[in-house]
Amino acid sequence: MTTTVTERREPAGAPPGGGSRRLTERVFRIRESGIIAVLLVFVAVTTSIQPSFLNQQNLQFLLINTTVYALLALGETMVVVSRNVDLSIGSVLGLSAYVSAGMFGHHPGIPIPVVFLIGLGIGLVCGMANGLMVAVGRVPSLVVTLATLYIIRGIDILIVGGNQVVAQSLPSGFTNIPRATVLGIPYLAIAIAVVIGIGAYYLRAFRSGRELYAIGSNPEAARLAGIPVGQRIFTAFTVSGGIAGVAGVLWAAQYQTIDSTAGTGYELTVISAVVVGGVAIFGGSGSAVGAAVGALLLSSINSALNVLGFPQLWLEAISGFLLLLAITLDRIISVRLMTALRRRSPGVGT
């Protein structure tokens, strides 16, 4: 009985070590490296067709456009590795963007850090609501977050009405956040890269982070091992909501004109980026860095479509195709990996 539980948890990168863990880590690192290779090939092909794709202005735009997606992907990764999904992040972003940016018009002179705290607070409240219903109510996350997607968007529409926040009402210190650069690289992109690095380190180095992988690999085995499953899932949704709240403030600083449609459809793009970046949709494997690379790949595709003159609708079609391809690939990898692990441990489950 004990041997069987250990075998099921190892493929997720859970705490138990040994050859099985090393094999699993190597397989999924190859998976993430493949995404980087695809990104480099795509950039090279696009540049050969349209050399302006790699000019400084377009690269800065690409990095800034990626930051919000990559930040959202970090929170989504924590949820997905635990075998859940958060579909409400786009609505949380939209609500946070309008309410936080609207503070500048209602309260002139309000400090920018306070606006970020307001966005964070909105996200945390929404994330905790999701976490309570999933962890305590035991309602499937797909159902919960699909419902809150529409509930939060409805609240956003009621608050916004026919109004919008315009660039003229925002202070220059706020709108300059995405524009500030060092050696041609946006400060914001550097900051988000650091945050993603910290998140990836937490998931791999801290016990509470590794336990999310164990939960995603086998929730029942995780409970038998004494892992506080409900607490970890609640925390993952809370963090995802908080990140979406902060991302909403950054979205407002970048786009500057905010109405009730802000963030619409972001949830599917972010989930696509997470899965394309190597995070298994079935839970238990993947990394925040891979998810960020997936976000960069989708942003690169979006930018390339604009440069090459393709309609925006192509991005949705390509994102859907990549998502389907990534899920199929993950399933094939998982089946073959389990077969290899059984061959290495013939006595497992006996």
> Cα-atom radius of gyration of the chain, to the nearest Å?
21
pTM: 0.84
Q: Cβ neighbours of residue 218 under 8 Å, at least 6 residues apart?
A: 5, 8, 9, 12, 284
Is residue 232's pLDDT more than 50?
A: yes
What pLDDT, on a 0 to 100 scale, did the predictor assign at position 276?
A: 85
Mean pLDDT score of the chain = 84
Quick: pLDDT tens for 15-30. 444 455 565 566 666 6
Distance CA 28, CA 94 (A): 33
Structural contact between residues 248 and 96, judged by C-beta atoms closer than 8 angstroms: yes
**Looking at per-residue confidence, does 123 or 305 come out higher?**
123
Q: Cβ neighbours of residue 247 under 8 Å, at least 6 residues apart?
A: 68, 71, 72, 89, 93, 96
Distance CA 330, CA 283 (A): 10
Phi, psi angles (nearest 5°) of residue 278: 105, 0
Quick: pLDDT tens for 133-170. 999 999 999 999 999 999 999 999 999 987 888 888 89
Distance CA 253, CA 169 (A): 12
- CA angle 196/200/205 to nearest 5° reads 145
Instruction: Enumerate domains of the chain plus CATH numbers.
Output: 2-344 (1.10.3470)
Distance CA 345, CA 328 (A): 26
Q: How many residues does the chain have?
A: 350
Quick: pLDDT tens for 264-299. 889 988 998 898 888 888 888 888 998 998 899 888
Quick: pLDDT tens for 93-115. 999 999 999 999 888 889 999 99
